[in-house]
Amino acid sequence: MTDLSGRVAIVTGGGKSLGRAYALGLAERGAAVVVNNRRHQGESDEQTSAAQVVASIRARGGRAIANYDEVEQAQAGENMVQAALTAFGRLDIVVANAAVPQAAAFHKTSAEDFRTIFDVGFYGTLHLLQAAWPILRENGYGRIVTTTSSAGRFGNHGLTAYGAAKGAIESLTRSLAAEGAARGIKANAISPYALSQMTSAYLSGEIAERFSPEQVVPMVLWLASEDCTANGEVIIAGGGHFRRGFPVETQSADGVGRNMAAVFDEIRDKAGVAYSSSNAAFDGLLKDMHLDAASARKKPN
């Protein structure tokens, strides 16, 4: 059982589906939670999904407050961080979950459609992390869980904007992991397969039951905990099963003076090598070229 007693978390998109399950799980393990979900037109505070999740947490003896900021607004991240500090005096965990779906081919997706999806999915994540980052660095501790998707790694028909936004989040997460390691901050991404508002049209019956949001929660709780040893990882989660996702490059082929079609055929047939960082990938290329990685790097003046 992951113990999060005394920790304070922010969960965006925390009013429904996966976000709701994360917020409830964090609170059950002892964390105080800022539950963010936008207010829809005509809703009173009590009617909002965020307030309903807060009520559920408090009914179980937990601590939580609701936040109604729209994550795409530039000030939203600062507002959420300030809400956590005002209500609970600290911030330890950020779970960036908010996103909007897309289901339209590229030729039917306008630049404005791209902006909308990026504003919520990518910039909604960015605004929050930029606001939280100085606090986590100063504290010398933090846990960040972003939300990516297989569409961000593999691409998919009808998901050009959504996939691009998720791919950007994945790269942002790995870069933050590299920058935050020395400050006690671990940043990882969860890539969930679960029944949600986005997937309800595609999952039904026994499959929908097996892929409940609650099946993803244990990994998110571990990634949010002090016990977490992962950093810069993408964890795919669904139906109670988990796997790692990571960049893979093949060994290189010497292409000097060769036909590029033949070079491609050669690298297409080579085995993939998993690299933990861009530096490791470059070192792998140097190795293929029989060059020494240490001598290739410029020495500081």
Nearest-Å Rg of the Cα atoms of the chain is 21
* CB 198 within 8 Å of CB 101: yes
Distances, alpha carbon 269 to alpha carbons 155, 258, 260, in Å: 22, 17, 14
Q: What does the alpha-carbon distance between residue 129 and residue 96 come to, in Å, rounded to a whole number?
A: 8
141 is an active site residue: no
Residues in the chain: 301
Question: Active site residue: 162, 193, 202, 275, which one?
Answer: 162
Q: CB-based contacts of 33: which residues, under 8 Å, 6+ apart?
A: 8, 9, 10, 11, 14, 23, 26, 27, 57, 62, 63, 64, 65
Handedness of CA 127, 128, 133, 134 (dihedral sign): positive
Residue bearing tokens 């935050």: 180
Residues forming the active site:
162
